[in-house]
Structure 1
Amino acid sequence: MSGCSTCSTLTAADGSIKGCKSNGGCSTGGCNKLNTFDWLSNMEAPGKYQFDIFEVRFKNGRKDFFRNSNDLEIYPGDPVVVNVPNGHHVGYVSLQGELVRLQMQKKKVNNDDEIRSIYRVASQKDLEKFESVQKRENPTMYRSREIINELKLEMKLTDVEYQADNSKATFYYSADERVDFRELIKRLAGEFKIRVEMRQISLRQEAGRLGGIGSCGRELCCSTWLSEFKNVSTSAARYQNLSLNPSKLSGQCGRLKCCLNYELET
């Protein structure tokens, strides 16, 4: 056994390994097969103060940050009622503590007065009302698709999300070109008696919301852990000497597979 070929601290004259004294973290990363990086090493030990912002998850993995301004006893997984524009919504706490601060830095979210508050931990009555509201989502989506066909709009309605107070619904759609849906909003608001928000999403986001099984046999990355979509080009496949067969390189979204980038650097 000897030191790394690229390391300046090779085996000593007596045959013992001098080592880089870096615990397997030399510039090449080759001293240790299972290299790890302690990304919490520069973080202060938790004291009496606890970061008062929580990450809350909503339908299909959508997440946002809310402040625990009422000093509630909240833990990950708890259902909470949160303040949203013109009403309230129900979500589930997905993250707490210093990791939330890091997530906010990563997503460039400022810790200011724009962060809305958590009203309370959701009661059984809140959850029952929210469940009854969710039952409206599928019938609303099917009926909305019929209205879109009647208006002959070039768009694809993917999902509908009702707010817990039953006052607003967000319609997620994808389209190749700009769509004039002013008449559609009037029809939807009149038929369902709600405020309507139209939100356009990409084809990759659409696949993430719908979910599915990839050609690898595992659940789609975009619907499980992948939160940021990076640009994928055919040069990534060409550089790895892969066949430029569109049917093999395309994912369920119709775009190039995100996993083409995973091993590109190596």
Structure 2
Amino acid sequence: MSKYITRYGSMRLLGVLATRGEDAYARGDKVVVRTNRGLETGEVLCLATENAIKQMNKPSNGQIIRPMSADDDQELNRLKSQQQDYFQRSQKIVERHGLDMELAEVEKLFGGERLIIYFISEDRVDFRELVKELAAEFQMRIEMRQIGVRDEAKLLADYGDCGKPVCCNTHLMQMPPVSMKMAKLQKATLDPTKISGRCGRLKCCLRYEYDTYLSLQEELPRSGTEVITSSGRGKILNQEILSQQLLVELESGRRLMLHVSEILTTLDRKSPDYEQQVAEGERLLAQARADEIDLSIESTDPDESQASEAPKKKRRRRRRNRRGSGKRKDGSSESNSGAKKDNSGDAKSGSPEGSSTSNKNKKGRRRRRRRGGDNKPKQSSEGGSPS
């Protein structure tokens, strides 16, 4: 015989239910169970291990009868369709009795032996006469259960502001109170319309990271504490808990955002050892500044500086070579220009060789003009060539 943690009922109750014989079930299997309320349907979550049972708050006991069949699905759908009719008829009877209560939901068990009516009321309600009339109306056992607004959201709510199903209707087994102090510590907006859930109360998710914020806050000095930092003496103005940073105002009036590791020591003016704290802080500050100087000296190594200047000298030589090569190109252009003059003279003489060379010279001139390098060689050839 195995035991499984099973969820059942409209309130998504949890129970440790045993199987019949050696039946085995997987997560998500739909089953018919018998609990202390009666015969109903449920969903298998996991094996009932010792660790899983410890996380549950007073789980109920019962038995898994069988897996749900196609006929069971049809019967369950029929019961759900009847619940709306039961709700309307119950609402009329409540109004006739004039009771100060608001119906939230009506649940009929799978076996049909019990009808559970969930209602909301700020005060205690004497519904003994109401129960008698409801039992005569529906011919079954009536159970009245008073719930709060958070339980109403668990019954009726669908999705939260985050776009996911509400936590109280999915994975929460307990709903502990949530205070405004939790929102202030996490620096959430204090606008009630933005931090309230479907139930109208503060969102349950404000509690999820509260313990983490508390543990991280213990590692930071409080706001208003006088400190000595690596940048000097100052006072803490604000805390950034998650990033472990502090907004510090120095004696000069300058404000810095420093990591908690940059705080050398804290000072307490009310302590009798205040002068010793100041002396120790000044010693740590002087040591930190000396370490910074040593690091700066090590970073300026002469061998490294010479190695870094070596490529610059090579670049200068390359540029000079390029300039020299440009002069040599100009010299070659001078010889070419002289040759062109001779060729032009040959062209005037009417030889075919001169005409072919003149055509080539014209093409070369056009190319040089397009490149923009034809003017300088002309000037040098005119200045250096004999008249």
* TM-score of the two chains, using structure 1 as the length reference: 0.69
AA partner of residue 183 (structure 1)? E
**Take 1:107 and 1:86, find their aligned partners in 2: how far apart are those partners?**
19
Deviations 1:69-114 (A, max 9, x none): 422233333332222347422222222253xx3232222558xxx8
- The amino acid across from 1:64 in the alignment is G
Q: Aligned AA for 2:31?
A: V
- Paired position in structure 2 for 1:107: 56
Distance 2:76 2:147 in 1: 25
Aligned-partner SS, 1:153: coil
Query: How many residues matched?
Result: 211
Counterpart for residue 17 of structure 1: none
CA deviation string 1:213-239 (max 9, x = no partner): 333343322223223212111222233
2:45 is aligned to 94
131, 136, 140: which one aligns with 1:194: 140
Counterparts of 1:54-93 in structure 2, within 5 Å, are 54-60=4-10, 61-85=12-36, 87-93=38-44
Q: 1:248 to 1:90 in 2, by over 3 A?
A: closer
- 1:75–1:223 distance in 2 versus 1, CA, 3 Å: same
Q: Does 1:224 align with 2:173?
A: no
**1:156–1:174 CA contact under 8 A, matched in 2:** yes
Counterparts of 1:119 and 1:242, CA distance in 2 = 48
**Code of the aligned partner of 1:178:** R
1:151 corresponds in structure 2 to 97
- Cα deviations by residue, 1:142-201 (Å, 9 ceiling, x for unpaired): 221222222222222211211111111111222211111112211211111111111222
Amino acid corresponding to residue 128 of structure 1 in structure 2? Q
Query: Which residue, 185, 195, 210 being the options, matches 2:156?
Result: 210
Shift of 1:253: 0.9
Contact kept in structure 1, 2:16 and 2:48, CA below 8 Å:
no
Using the TM superposition, name which of 71-80 and 134-143 deviates more.
71-80
Q: In the aligned structure 2, how far is the partner of 1:108 from the partner of 1:209?
A: 19
Q: Matched residue of 1:135: which SS?
A: helix
Aligned residue runs from structure 1 range 1-266, under 5 A = 52-60=2-10, 61-85=12-36, 87-96=38-47, 98=49, 101-107=50-56, 109=58, 115-264=61-210, 265-266=212-213
Question: Letter of the aligned partner of 1:132 in structure 2?
Answer: R
Deviation at 1:243, TM superposition (A): 4.3
SS of the aligned residue for 2:205 comes to: helix
Post-superposition Cα deviations, 1:44-76, rounded to whole Å, max 9, x if no partner, equal xxxxxxx71112222443332211142223333
**Cα gap change, 1:79/1:216 in structure 2, threshold over 3 Å: closer, same or farther?**
closer
Structure with more contact order per residue of length (Cα contacts < 8 Å, sep ≥ 6): 1
CA RMSD across the alignment: 2.5
Between Structure 1 and Structure 2, the one with more helix by share is: 2
Asked if 2 retains the 8 angstrom alpha-carbon contact of 1:130 and 1:165, the reply is no
2:178 alignment partner AA? V
Q: Is the Cα contact below 8 Å between 1:70 and 1:118 reproduced in 2?
A: no
Q: From the superposition, tell whether residues 260 and 83 of structure 1 become closer, same or farther in structure 2 (CA, over 3 Å).
A: closer
Change (3 A) 1:79 1:154: same
2:362: which partner in 1? none
SS of the residue corresponding to residue 61 of structure 2 reads coil
